[in-house]
Amino acid sequence: MIVYEFKLKGKDSQYRAIDEAIRTSQFIQNKCLRYWMDNKDSKVDKYALNKYCAVLAAEFPFADELNSMARQSAAERSWSAIARFYDNCKKKVKGKKGFPQFKKTCRSVEYKTSGWKLSETRKAITFSDKKGIGTLKLKGTYDLNYYNIEQIKRVRLLRRADGYYAQFSIDVNIRVERQPTHQVVGLDLGLNYFIADSKGNVEPSPKFYRKSEKQLNRANRKKSKKFSRERKKAKQRQSNNYHKARNRYARKHLRVSRQRKEYCKRLAYSVIQSHDLVAYEDLNVKGMVKNRCLAKSISDAGWATFRRWLEYFGHKYGKVTVAVPPHNTSQNCSNCGQKVKKSLSTRTHVCNHCGFVEDRDINASINILKLGLSTAGHAGTYATGDLPSWAIGVNLSSNGESVNVESPRL
């Protein structure tokens, strides 16, 4: 399963129709969640929510204007949140179990195999439901002519700060055979260096957010100056100048996120192409960002993004990627195995038992490689675009984030 993304070109009236379709999808998603909450005793399942979509279409005319499969896709999003909550309860996950929440803002609407039609050249797409979206041009570097229409399982319309996009979920085998390199490596993720490997190589952290923080703060101040508290109290829409400033601020954030994503993608591709086995830390990033002193730097590093791309390319090129527990990998000596306690500010590992001296991150990467070689199997998560066999054709992730698998030249 791969996902291709194109930018949409159309008229303002078509963009407003897409916004209306997105709002309708959000309405159906929230209604399905309310239906589950009100009927917990009757064991509401995925199929019951799909049937409830027909009830909503009969009751609300604007819901009937949306394609029937798009309504079912919105119901599946609600069920995805419900199923994840049930799984967390069964697994007895510590802390909050992720009880499903109502969507306040939604940025996408998803169609299945009906409600849309590609042109003969595959350079335009036409939506045939009653929302009035019509025909939109597709701008991008990918070529959909390589695939049959039957292979396209989902089409999603997505709104971002810089415009509207279409994502195509295509059922295709992404496996690529490569000659073995007979090389293994362990990776230590950090803030001083983005990665340090067991061979002594380091990659500096790009710190895209830190470099753009001054511009972001300036744009945020300009946005705040145009915000009217009186309009908010009167429940009136903010001025056009406020929304323009808000859009400029969002575009700057979008640029930073794209820089980080592209950097992680290129680095993960390079690591996978050079090695047959890659061992890395199984970091709990969600828990680590609770440290308010390091939260901004950890978020700026993009460790989770790098891991997803590492696992995706490992799956695509048949390489072994192993996530190992990070406990004491920085404290233990990679030469003799003895524990040498050190604070986070101590960047050089000096062993009092064997006299081994090495950079702290490189010492940790050697320990990670040893743990990876002693671990059987793959302890990672499914990466972007890499879905298990049972997920072929299911809905795309609903958070609005791009799941465009890779650049054309990779």
Q: For the segment 11-65, what is each residue's pLDDT rounded down to a tens digit?
A: 999 999 999 999 999 999 999 999 999 987 778 888 999 999 999 999 999 999 9
Map out the domains of the chain as residue ranges: 2-170, 184-205+256-385
Residues with Cβ within 8 Å of residue 257, at least 6 apart in sequence:
none
Element at 280 (helix H, strand E)? strand 277-281
pLDDT at 97: 87
Residues 289, 156: Cα–Cα separation, whole Å: 31
Statement: residue 383 has pLDDT above 70? no
Could you tell me if 169 and 3 are in contact, meaning their C-beta atoms sit under 8 angstroms apart? yes
Residues 331, 351: Cα–Cα separation, whole Å: 10
pLDDT at 407: 53
Can you name the residues that pair with 5 across neighbouring β-strands?
167
pLDDT band (50, 70, 90) for residue 342: confident
pLDDT tens for 81-136 read 999 999 999 988 888 888 999 999 899 999 998 889 998 889 999 998 889 899 99
Residues 368, 127: Cα–Cα separation, whole Å: 51
Count the residues in the chain. Answer: 410
pLDDT average, residue stretch 181-205: 87
The one-letter code for the residue type at 51 is: K
Could you tell me if 43 and 116 are in contact, meaning their C-beta atoms sit under 8 angstroms apart? no
Could you tell me if 277 and 372 are in contact, meaning their C-beta atoms sit under 8 angstroms apart? yes
Which stretches does DSSP call E strand in 177-243? 184-189, 193-197, 202-204
| DSSP per residue, 340-369 | ----TT--EEE-TTT--EEEHHHHHHHHHH
Fold of domain 184-205+256-385: Nucleotidyltransferase; domain 5 (3.30.420)
Longest dimension (CA), the chain: 77
Residues 365, 199: Cα–Cα separation, whole Å: 9
Q: Give the residue ranges of DSSP H helices in 12-132.
A: 12-38, 46-59, 61-64, 68-91
Side-chain-side CA neighbours of 267 within 13 Å: the count stands at 25
